Structure 1
Amino acid sequence: MPPVAAGAAPELDGARAACTDALGVLAAARPDRLVVVGPADESGRGPHPQGAPGSFRGFGVDVDVRLGPEGDSAPQRPLPASLAVAAWLLERTGWSCAPIEGLGVGEPLEPERCIQTGRGIAARAERVAMLVMGDASACRTLKAPGYLDERAAPFDAEVARALGAADVAALRALDAELAYELKASGRAGWQILAGAAEGADLGGALLYEDAPYGVGYVVATWS
């Protein structure tokens, strides 16, 4: 988001435009419910209801967000960073198409549990849309957060291909240990998506793939 990445915001214009287009595809699907999934540390794991608050103050930016319209008046724990970014994107595009709920996922979540979680999400309503947050590898260059790892580029290429093709089997087959070593925070979320999409016969489109700052960013839509 520009307020956080102010010095490099133009480098991410393409990614932001792709995210806007992706949310347009979600809205056009006319879902009964939108489930936002993203990586989280222990304090942010588990469900986050509509209206849950998030903030970017930890990044030195005075910006607060909510995951959709304010819901239950009971105090809610703060959103993890991944869901806060999703909330910012949804606010930016004026999402009002369906109720929202969030799910913070631990990166070590085993692939089979991811698949089972996805199946459970798909069963929550007749038409469920998902917004899945998370990066590909963080090891694409010497200055990347995880330093350069020659395995990162082919890993990211396969992730981009699988997401762009809505290849459920390929996402299920992602190596969780390799993803962890490459600091690919999106792996669990992608496998949850794979579980939710089983048997749905969806088509995919790759909208963006690049590695600014040595971190793999991918935007794709399934419909």
Structure 2
Amino acid sequence: MLVAAAVCPCPPLLVPEVAAGAAHEMDAARAACYDALAVLAAARPDRLVVLGPAEQFARGGYPQGASGSFRGFGVDLDVRLGKGAAEGRELPPSLAVGAWLLERTEWSAAPVEGLGVGEPLAPERCAAAGQDLVGSGAGDRLALLVLGDGSNCRTVKAPGYFDERAAAFDADAARALGDADPASVLALDAEIAYELGASGRSSWQVLAGAAQGADLSGRLLHDEAPYGVGYFVASWS
């Protein structure tokens, strides 16, 4: 059963070494992520699944100890998903950010695995994937670290330029995540999310599938768009 979830953004700029001189601009988001991870640890899970958006070649599962890096962003920084080392493909950027958050907070509450989710995945398939995560644990207490960003079209300087629909979409997403409302999360329109560059939509809807029937309470810890991209942090427990 799902006992807790942390929803966090996944821009590489969350990592201070990547952000460099602009690192302070993400201080509030980082602090909120650390708080959300503390709630995960307090739920005493038996396992933690870190899930986030991934390109086609990087979708699917990653074992504990899978490695990633931020070399593609100009920083010689390696990370691992939990303790140990595992051979195989490199973590996608979203899961690398998740691995960095776990390292930064010295996660030791439960074994860790990763899941790269395809952004185009339809809501009903996302929900089914979430239900599969819960069902695969044979009654284990499951926690999720869910990575993903909101719209990247909040301002004219945003990566996706300005779209007048972006603020309303992000407001709906933030409200649904803050309320821990699976039905409202699943109601987010996949086509509009794609047009607005909201990379978190599929990951959030996997969470919604996993949370159905869990009766969790939510709290929105952070909601800002410092670079014209919606960054939300929420805690479900």
Task: Tell me which interval the TM-score lies in, with the shorter structure as reference length.
Answer: over 0.9
Residues paired across the two proteins, number = 221
The answer to whether the 8 Å contact 1:53/1:65 transfers is yes
> Is 1:60–2:93 an aligned residue pair?
no
SS of 1:8's partner is helix
Q: Which residue of 2 aligns with 1:78?
A: 90
Describe the SS at the equivalent of 1:213: coil
Distance in 2 between residues matched to 1:60 and 1:80, nearest whole Å: 16
Alignment of 1:7-22 (within 5 A): 7-22=21-36
Instruction: Provide the C-alpha distance between the structure 2 equivalents of 1:98 and 1:208, rounded to a whole number of angstroms.
Output: 25
Q: Percent identity?
A: 69
The 5-angstrom pairing of residues 87-166 of structure 1 reads 87-125=99-137, 126-166=140-180
- Per-residue deviation, residues 48-82 of structure 1 (Å, max 9, x unmatched): 1100000000000000000001144xx21000000
- Asked if the contact 1:122–1:196 (Cα under 8 Å) also holds between the matched residues in 2, the reply is yes
Match of residue 6 from structure 2: none
**Equivalent residue letter for 1:204:** G
Of structures 1 and 2, the one with the larger relative CO (CA 8 A, separation 6+) is 2
The answer as to whether partners of 1:166 and 1:202 remain within 8 angstroms in 2 is yes
| Deviation sequence 1:172-192 (CA, Å, 0-9, x none) | 111000000000000000000
Q: TM-score, normalised by structure 1?
A: 0.98
Please name the residue that 2:9 is paired with.
none
The Cα offsets for residues 4-24 of structure 1, whole Å up to 9 and x where unpaired, read as 111211111000000000000
Structure 1 stretches of at least 4 aligned residues deviating more than 6 Å after TM superposition: none
What residue is the counterpart of 1:196 in the other structure? 210
State the partner residue of 1:43. Answer: 57
Q: Does 1:205 align with 2:205?
A: no
Structure 2, unaligned runs of 5 or more: 1-14
Residues in 2 aligned to 1:149 and 1:70: alpha-carbon distance in whole angstroms? 44
Name the CA distance, whole Å, in 2 between partners of 1:9 and 1:214. 16
Aligned with residue 6 of structure 1, among 20, 28, 39: 20
- Opposite residue 143 of structure 1, the aligned amino acid is K
The answer to whether the Cα contact below 8 Å between 2:64 and 2:111 also exists between their aligned partners in 1 is yes
Counterpart Cα distance in 2 of 1:58 and 1:141: 26
C-alpha contact 1:139 1:145 (8 A) present in aligned 2:
yes
